Chains A and B, each alone.
Chain A
Amino acid sequence: MEQTKRGRKTASTLLTATLVGTMLISACSSNSGNEKANESTGGDKASGKASSLKVEVFDRGNSPAGSTITKNYLTTFVQDKFGTPNNINVQFVPVPRSEEVQKLNVLMASGSDVPDIVFTYDSGTFYRYAQQGGLTDLGELLDQYGPNLKKFLGEDTLSYGKYDGKQFAFPAKRSHLGKYSSFIRQDWLEKLSLPVPTTTDELYTTLKAFKEQDPGQTGGKVIPLGMSLAPSSYDPFIWSFIQPLTEEQSYTLTQQLGSADYPTLLPGFKDALQFMNKLYNEGLMSADFSLDEDEKKLNEDAAKGLVGFFSEDDMNPFYADGTYSTLMTNISDAKLSAVDVFSNSEGKHAKPEYAPVGMYLMIPKSSKNAVEAVKYLDWMASDGNLFDMQNGVEGENYTLENGVPIMKTDATDEIKNRIYNFGDMAIISNGKQLGDADKNVEAYVVGMPEANQEETRKALSISRSDTIKPVLFDRPIEAQAKYGTALQDKYKEIIVKTAMAKPDQFESTYEAAIKDYMANGGQAILDERTKAYEAMKK
């Protein structure tokens, strides 16, 4: 037994070394000593038979003075409220946020040092672990030890944690499903006495006016439509061109790459590309959008007051140090409004929404404390524990108004810092859970600077309206796990190539790009999904 364990460990170390060597990526195995550094959090009085529970936690290197990622207000809270009463010693195993998946891979392969609860945002990683038989089947454990958890997560969310019909993960429940909103320079519209555009056609007229009349006096540098190579920029644009789908079409033709659905094969996708090609060639769109995968350039241009209209994650521009506030310091009379513009053939402002899940919480097969792990998550889902972990202490951290906790901005840093990493500790939820979607959203709104709250509220209701829900199969599509990452790059290539082609070369560019996409896995996914759909209908 000991022998195989050591063998496996050596194997994994060697594997890591090989991969690291091949790929010139370092600092993967170098910190495998980290987990030994974590301290137990209290519970030292527990009698000899205390069981222990190790829980992964993201380390973002932002622990305030006086606390560490493994010992802070929340870890003590967990130990006092859950650990000590149940005679369980709860330990937290830090994993650097930036190399989450790599570090997790190393932990999982080691087999012995792995925490009892691990998690990842990457659905591909979850599927891979499940497929290779590295995870504990949680179905019975959930029924037996997790009634509160089951109720809290709900059937909808739980179904995302199933692989081949078995519950291999508890996906965290997402509190706000809206993804995107669009934003326009209201002051430019007013200057040109133009109405707020409400359809894609009207938007085109507006963009042309922005270009020709340059209301922002940018000296010819105006970018009427700000675009980047991030989904938040092109998704609302593209999905609004997608035709209404039959049930069969949405199951078979949608391609799920990573954790999002892609419209590559859906009817209307080509029209979207054609329109983008037109905007690009008429100079109505960011010229260098293909270089801007992280929206940095887009936000920089928007903050400089060059951009007339753009799409983003719904509340991103409105944070205290966000794009809008920088824009205001640059151009004091600028006004950025959240608007819902892109319209589909039915006149709806169709746009994708998130799957109702956040991180995938998993219990490795090698864990001997699966029961304690489920108990811990169940504890978090019961009574007010989740609320307390997310919000701190009433009267000190927040006051309640209509069921929405308002954070006290005048609290001392020490009190504010109590919950500095609640998002990483309250792992069963993504965002605050206050009972219904409107309240959840309101919790985000009240966290914004006073002046931006109205627009934030608008953006958050835009992102939730006319949404397209992700398509979920009841069985794994292996081709998606295999080709997903590569195809995400191919998908971006399709957008870039077709947008930047000369208009008379659009057709041939489109054909070639789609052919390349299909040959590199798109066809395999289509075939598998078609088969899976037929099997599901039987």
Chain B
Amino acid sequence: MVLKGTAYLRRYWQLYALLILPVSYFIIFKYGPMYGILIAFKDFNFFQGINGSEWIGFDGFKEVFAMPDFFKVLRNTLMLNFLDLIVSFPAPLFLAIMLYELKIVWFKKLSQTILYIPHFISWVIIGGIVYQVFGTQSGMINNILMSFGLDAIPFLTDKKDWLITYLVVGVWQSAGWGTIIYLAALTGINRELFEAADVDGAGRLRKIFSITLPSLKPTIVTLLIINLGHMIAIGFERPYIIGNTAVRDYADVLSTFVYRIGIESGQYTIATVVGLFQAIVGLVFVLGANYTSKKLADQSII
């Protein structure tokens, strides 16, 4: 039955009222600040505000693209995210499948809890732990190596070794938490499929490849698209805290760059330009990934 105008509103106004909060959240905190994007096109003067500052067109962009460090930082961002995608993206999937296969309930719950914990530890603390574990002079691993008469490995101060440290720490911190979505999706699988497979004599691996993974496909694709969209965006804390001066060639990324230029040096125009650039490239990535996935696998989020 289709209700008309006022009758419809009178009946469902409460549902719309419920929408007010989330919608205003987006307007105030997500759309409102977009006004600040104007800074990218202005020679921003603190005391004259956004309106009072002078228009400079694309001069800010020209300046950013002329900075030798900008491209290094851009490359690092893409490189770290790409490696992260290869290493950290499949990790929760493996973990989730392994957890799903566990039959002893208490052990499963215990494992889950232990895997979740790192997600709730602040990066600052993780940074301290990393230092204690991977340090060259007094790190736990190197102490063990040296007690066997082996050479210390500069996990934190050699750029290539540092990359591995960065990735491993990332997996440790996020993989457990990442399993939640997969586990949720797994509970949706029809149990009868497994029973039928048992009857057909399928082994455990056969069932994983023929039932579990295909059922997870939409979830995997969705997460992949989201991750690709974040290719150009990178968290601030992880590279900033795990990184150090010796490995800045790899550890300096867009977010730390914006922090240094924007907050520390007060060049707001430059910082906004970089932020805007990041947003636009990010959008291109999401749309691109979505389009490709729609064409190839008939799965998409928009």
Contact = CB atoms under 8 A, between A and B. Distances in A.
Contact of A25 (B33, B49, B263): B263
Contacts of A11: 35, 49-51
For the side of the interface on B, what is the size category?
35 or more
A291 B131 contact: yes
Contacts of A365: 47
Interface stretch (A124-132, A268-276, A374-382): A124-132
A334 to B, nearest CB: 20
A17 B39 contact: no
**Which among B39, B45, B47, B264 has the greatest number of chain A C-beta atoms within 10 A?**
B47
Interface residues of A, number: 49
B137 A109 contact: no
B47 A132 contact: yes
Interface string A1-41: 00000011001101101110111110000000000000000
Nearest to A110: B49
A22 B37 CA distance: 11
A422 B37 CA distance: 43
A520 B39 CA distance: 23
23 contacts: A8-B49, A14-B33, A17-B29, A18-B272, A18-B275, A22-B262, A23-B259, A23-B262, A23-B271, A24-B235, A102-B263, A109-B49, A128-B46, A129-B46, A287-B137, A288-B156, A290-B245, A484-B265, A485-B264, A489-B248, A489-B260, A496-B245, A520-B69
Contacts, number: 135
A86 interface: no
A104 to B, nearest CB: 11
Given A128-B266, A288-B157, A291-B244, A22 B258 contact: yes
A492 B245 CA distance: 7
Nearest to A102: B263
B300 interface: no
B255 A134 contact: no
A288 B246 CA distance: 10
Contacts of A25: 236, 259, 263
Chief secondary structure at chain A's binding surface: helix
A394 B300 CA distance: 78
Contact of A109 (B46, B131, B248, B271): B46
B261 interface: yes
B89 interface: no
A19 B268 contact: yes
B267 interface: yes
A85 to B, nearest CB: 34
B136 A134 contact: no
Interface in B43-88: 45-52, 67-69
A35 B21 CA distance: 29
B111 to A, nearest CB: 31
A37 B235 CA distance: 35
A502 B112 CA distance: 46
Given A18-B36, A291-B156, 8 more contacts: A15-B36, A15-B50, A19-B36, A105-B46, A124-B266, A286-B137, A290-B244, A489-B260
Given A19-B262, A287-B137, A288-B138, A14 B244 contact: no
B101 interface: no
A211 to B, nearest CB: 14
A493 B157 CA distance: 12
A238 B215 CA distance: 63
